[in-house]
């Protein structure tokens, strides 16, 4: 990552002046209602209001409520621009209580304005998500919300705003929450006493107006709607706001006047405005009850007994721990600052690693300083040894600067494994040193500036003599650089093939720890590199529907693969890419996890533990995160999960080797005996 602002595709959100209610107060026909006018292409936007009913408008939830004031408080309120905005907005809100007010305003404005442009027509080419932060690969969360047809294609959607205002509604239908494409919902001036928690399903909402009802509380699940920019709760019976709404880091206006709010909350609004309230709520979040542990999934327990079978087993953990310099409030505004602090997160990470009892640990985004000063000494107490390489930018820095450079760290239990050799794969240098690539412009413009690396270790099982190659990699993140991702993995597989062949032909010296006098088991011989068991762990920043996944799982990709984007990369785009290893994602045995990266902008599987099926078998896996827990958690990191990624853990067993069967000598039927004369 080149800097903390562009890491994971984050584009900082700039505050916008909200003029929603002021625009409604303008004379009809002179301006399009901008609350409905989220322009997308040239398709039509219709704010759906349904049919007119004879219901009363429902009235204001609490229009006559006046906050108690003393002289000082009254002076502060009158001088506060934030509270003046509240007063302006609530006055206009109270004039918007007629049935389907917003839908009618939009219709009149669109009819009378020849310049009007209107929204709608979601289609694959025109869809624009509300924000692009945390993007990894594949469709963002926002686009997934409108993939509701049987074929998995984006359906055309001609309206995204729904006006149910002024209908005297006492409850909301469950079917409303199936309209996950909505970005604006008006349920103002009804007789609602509760908002169902299921409203959290409407993840695309950018505006929610629940003013003029009889709400005494709002559900904590409202904090899941992280795309909200405008939340209007005027004229209800609210005394407080749940801390979970602190996750609404895009919120620009929170309308709360006309509620008997607690004095401390109102003071924050007067002094610091909507954003100040949200920040206060976020920093006041309490640590929720302990979550249910992730299940351990047993896939094969047929060989649980026997010392030999246990010696052939080992567990591998893969984890992008989120480097300290990337864990900023700009990046993860839905998390409280104390949950993002490195002092808090590193302790949680350490506990996760030690409690896992994994034999091999592969970490990404470990900076040099924390490897040397924290993880190495802490894990050494648990009898781990490690190998680390930082990203290639460290080569151009002085000793102080390079401490903050992150890279990949591989740890192994020294009681079980010996390190025979280690290698680094510097993708940028490797590409520039290839005769077929170094003269192409795409290498210089796209591959060379990306300083991702991989660490390859060659281990030996002290108890069995079997050997193991472990690759630990972090692939470039940007979804606009699918070609670079594929080239990096292609280079990785070429280097693994090269080193595996070398290590099969000439074994490195067998390493011993100082003072280790235990007898060494006879080393297992391998006739070719592809016979050596291979594990590839990492953050590949690539979903299952990608060229990276195809190359690893199928062993090859064509030279004209879509992910190469028509660019030129030497032999890769002339002959295609291939490798000789029968690889499989360990989690594909259960259809992959629900996600390995969990943020509001992207939720999906991008981390993997790959293994060679010819000599390794998966016997166990760490399962998914509890779904009930996730119902109130918009994204990681948080107080329980110290990274935006979750750890992956797999148990393997080395398959018994099939020894070649020697052919018996041909039978002797006595044909060679001397004949009798």
DSSP line for 163-189: E-TTS--SS--GGGGG-TT-SEEE--S
Cα–Cα distance measured from residue 461 to residue 412, given in angstroms and rounded to the nearest whole number: 11
Tens digit of pLDDT for each residue in 319-357?
999 999 999 999 999 999 999 999 999 999 999 999 999
Cα–Cα distance measured from residue 436 to residue 365, given in angstroms and rounded to the nearest whole number: 31
Strand partners for 163: 186
Q: Give the tokens for residue 327.
A: 């864990």
* Least confident segment among 435-449, 472-486, 568-582: 435-449
How far separated are the first and last CA of the chain, in Å rounded? 92
Tens digit of pLDDT for each residue in 547-579?
999 999 999 999 999 999 999 999 999 999 999
Buried b (16+ CB within 10 A) or exposed e, 148-181: eeeeeebeebebbbbbbbbbbbeebeeebbebbb
Label residue 665 by pLDDT band (50, 70, 90).
confident
pLDDT at 105: 87
442-462 average pLDDT score: 96
Do 261 and 237 contact (CB within 8 A), yes or no? no
CA dihedral angle for residue 238, residue 243, residue 248, residue 251, rounded to 10 degrees:
50
Query: Where is mean pLDDT largest: 40-54, 125-139, 157-171, 593-607?
Result: 593-607
196-207 average pLDDT score: 96
Q: What is the pTM of this model?
A: 0.83
Three-state DSSP string of 340-376 = HCHHHHHHHHHHHHHHHCCCEEEEEEEEHHHHHHHHH
pLDDT at 236: 97
Alpha carbon 17 to chain centroid, angstroms = 30
Does 539 participate in catalysis according to the annotation? Answer: yes
Q: Give the tokens for residue 351.
A: 């506990």
CATH superfamily for 158-286 is Ribonuclease Inhibitor (3.80.10.10)
Q: Torsions phi, psi of 509, nearest 5? A: -60, 140
Tens digit of pLDDT for each residue in 92-122?
899 999 999 998 988 888 777 644 443 433 3
Strand 360-367's sheet: what is its strand order? 296-298, 616-622, 648-654, 313-320, 360-367, 406-413, 384-390
pLDDT at 506: 79
Nearest to 413 by CA among 322, 317, 323: 317
Cα–Cα distance measured from residue 482 to residue 543, given in angstroms and rounded to the nearest whole number: 11
Strands (E), 310-462: 313-320, 360-367, 384-390, 406-413, 417-426, 453-461
Strands (E), 201-269: 207-209, 230-232, 253-255
Contacts of 618 (CB under 8 A, 6+ apart): 299, 300, 586, 589, 611, 650, 651, 652
Q: Give the tokens for residue 655.
A: 């398959």
Q: Which of 539, 563, 607, 644 is catalytic?
A: 539
Q: Torsions phi, psi of 140, nearest 5? A: -75, 170
Lookup result for tokens 């030279």: 559
Residue ranges per structural domain of the chain: 158-286, 296-508+524-654
* Least confident segment among 52-66, 366-380, 633-647: 52-66
- What CATH topology corresponds to 296-508+524-654? Deoxyribonuclease I; Chain A (3.60.10)
Count CB-CB contacts under 10 A for residue 63.
Answer: 14
612-624 average pLDDT score: 97
pLDDT at 144: 54
**Above 80 in pLDDT, residue 659?**
no
**Averaged confidence pLDDT in the chain:** 83
Buried b (16+ CB within 10 A) or exposed e, 11-41: eeeeeeebebbebbeeeeeebbbbbbbbebe
Q: Give the tokens for residue 610.
A: 């790959």
Cis geometry, peptide bond prior to residue 637 (ω within 30 degrees of 0): yes
Nearest to 500 by CA among 535, 465, 454: 535
pLDDT at 288: 72
Nearest to 538 by CA among 612, 427, 645, 618: 645
pLDDT at 129: 44
> How big is the chain by its Cα radius of gyration, in Å?
31
pLDDT at 43: 35
pLDDT at 121: 32
């Amino acid at each position: 990552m080149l800097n903390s602002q562009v890491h994971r595709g984050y584009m900082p959100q700039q505050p916008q002046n909200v003029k929603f209610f002021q625009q409604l107060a303008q004379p009809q026909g002179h301006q399009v209602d901008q609350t409905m006018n989220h322009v997308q292409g040239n398709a039509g936007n219709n704010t759906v209001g349904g049919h007119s009913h004879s219901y009363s408008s429902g009235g204001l939830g609490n229009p006559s409520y006046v906050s108690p004031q003393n002289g000082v408080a009254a002076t502060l309120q009158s001088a506060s621009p934030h509270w003046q905005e509240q007063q302006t907005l609530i006055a206009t809100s109270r004039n918007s209580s007629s049935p389907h007010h917003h839908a009618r305003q939009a219709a009149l404005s669109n009819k009378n304005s020849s310049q009007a442009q209107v929204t709608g027509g979601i289609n694959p080419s025109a869809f624009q998500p509300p924000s692009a932060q945390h993007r990894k690969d594949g469709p963002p969360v926002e686009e997934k919300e409108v993939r509701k047809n049987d074929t998995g294609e984006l359906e055309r959607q001609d309206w995204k705003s729904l006006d149910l205002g002024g209908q005297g509604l006492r409850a909301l239908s469950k079917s409303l929450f199936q309209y996950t494409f909505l970005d604006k919902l008006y349920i103002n001036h009804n007789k609602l006493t509760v908002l169902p928690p299921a409203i959290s399903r409407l993840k695309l909402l950018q505006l929610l107006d629940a003013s003029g009802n009889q709400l005494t509380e709002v559900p904590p699940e409202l904090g899941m709607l992280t795309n909200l920019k405008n939340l209007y709760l005027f004229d209800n019976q609210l005394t407080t706001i749940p801390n979970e709404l602190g996750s609404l880091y895009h919120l620009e206006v929170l309308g709360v006047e006309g509620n008997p709010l607690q004095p401390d909350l109102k003071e924050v609004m007067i002094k610091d405005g909507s954003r100040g309230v949200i920040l206060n709520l976020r920093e006041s979040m309490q640590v929720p009850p302990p979550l249910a542990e992730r299940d351990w999934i047993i896939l094969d327990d047929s060989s649980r007994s026997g010392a030999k079978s246990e010696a052939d087993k080992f567990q591998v953990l893969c984890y992008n721990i989120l480097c300290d310099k990337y864990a900023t409030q700009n990046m993860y505004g839905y998390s409280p600052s104390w949950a993002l602090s490195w002092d808090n997160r590193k302790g949680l990470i350490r506990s996760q690693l030690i409690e896992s009892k994994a034999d091999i640990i592969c970490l990404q985004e470990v900076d040099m300083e924390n490897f040397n000063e924290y993880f190495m000494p802490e894990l050494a107490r648990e009898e781990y040894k490690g190998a680390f390489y930082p990203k290639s930018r460290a080569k151009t820095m002085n000793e102080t600067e390079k401490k903050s450079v992150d890279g990949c760290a591989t740890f192994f239990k020294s009681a079980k494994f010996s390190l025979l050799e280690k290698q680094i794969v510097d993708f940028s240098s490797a590409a520039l040193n290839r005769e077929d690539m170094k003269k192409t412009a795409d290498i210089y413009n796209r591959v060379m500036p990306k300083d991702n690396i991989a660490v390859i270790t060659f281990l030996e099982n002290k108890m069995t003599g079997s050997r193991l190659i472990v690759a630990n990699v972090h692939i470039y993140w940007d979804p606009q650089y699918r070609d670079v991702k594929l080239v990096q993995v292609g280079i990785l597989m070429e280097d693994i093939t090269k080193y595996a062949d070398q290590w099969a032909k000439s074994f490195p010296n067998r390493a011993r720890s100082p003072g280790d006098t235990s007898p060494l088991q006879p080393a297992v011989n391998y006739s070719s590199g592809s016979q050596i068991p291979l594990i590839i762990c990492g953050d590949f920043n690539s979903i299952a529907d990608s060229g990276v996944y195809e190359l690893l799982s199928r062993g090859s990709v064509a030279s004209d693969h879509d992910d190469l984007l028509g660019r030129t990369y030497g032999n890769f785009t002339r002959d295609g890419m291939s490798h000789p290893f029968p690889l499989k994602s360990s989690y594909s045995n259960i259809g992959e996890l629900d996600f390995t990266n969990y943020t509001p902008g992207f939720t999906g599987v991008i981390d993997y533990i790959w293994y060679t099926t010819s000599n390794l078998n998966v016997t166990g896996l760490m399962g998914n995160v509890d779904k009930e827990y996730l119902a109130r958690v918009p994204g990681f990191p948080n107080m329980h999960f110290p990274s935006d990624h979750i750890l992956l853990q797999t148990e393997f067993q080395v398959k018994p080797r099939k020894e070649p069967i020697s052919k018996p000598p041909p039978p002797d039927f006595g044909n060679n005996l001397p004949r009798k004369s």
